[in-house]
Amino acid sequence: MSVDMNAVKELRYRSGAGVLDCRKALEECSNDLEKAVDYLREKGLAKAAKKAGRTASEGRVFSYIHTNGKIGTLVEIDCETDFVARTDEFQELGKEIAMQIAAAAPLYLTSEEVPQEDLEREKEIYRQQALDEGKPEKIVDRIAEGRIAKFFEESCLMEQKYIRDPEKKIKDLVVQEIAKMGENIVVRRFARFSIGE
């Protein structure tokens, strides 16, 4: 099957994958661009899962200061080699995540980092809200669980929607870069500073 080079170009732009990977994806998906994007994402997730166990002991600390000088962030992002840490793609990822932290003000890195007592307190608040709204007792716990998922999406950096592309979460952005760069990448920790907070 012949593959249209314009489709390869478009797929490469949308996915960040290499030319050969894009050609193969289009061949596998009968030149259907949307299916090829999904195909590459699935392959990227599989590659990223294989790399997740590898040690990431190199990396960089990135910073972002908002133009008004009232908000600033620091974020440590690690990778496996200094070579990757110096690439433009890695630098760009660091800048984007530092900016995300400034804009979206996460409280935690991942949902696993939320202290159990904070989680219990949030659940209790959501249960009470559901009861106050007149919801039946038997579904209150399900409602609270749904609101906890929303809490994670707002409060945990890796679960937040990427400010430049709300279709993606930050963890999806990192997985995409792992697949592209071929190394494990770990967002290790962050700090956000805001005048008056």
Q: Are strands 58-65 and 161-162 parallel, antiparallel or unpaired?
A: unpaired
pLDDT of residue 76: 95
CB count in 10 Å sphere of residue 166: 9
- Give me the CATH number covering residue 42: 1.10.8.10
170 and 159 in contact (C-beta within 8 Å)? yes
Clarify whether residues 64 and 97 are in a common domain. yes
- What average pLDDT score do residues 4-33 get? 75
**Does residue 95 share a domain with residue 64?**
yes
Residues 10 and 105 in one domain: no
Which CATH number characterizes residue 105's domain?
3.30.479.20
Does 91 lie in the same domain as 182? yes
Number of domains in the chain: 3
Do residues 135 and 63 share a domain? no
Which tens digits make up the pLDDT trace of 53-78? 566 678 899 999 998 889 999 999 99
> Cβ atoms within 10 A of the Cβ of 182, count?
12
The parent domain of residue 144 ranges over 115-154
What sign does the dihedral 29-30-35-41 (CA atoms) show?
positive
List pLDDT tens digits, range 118-158.
Answer: 888 888 888 888 888 878 888 888 888 888 888 899 999 99
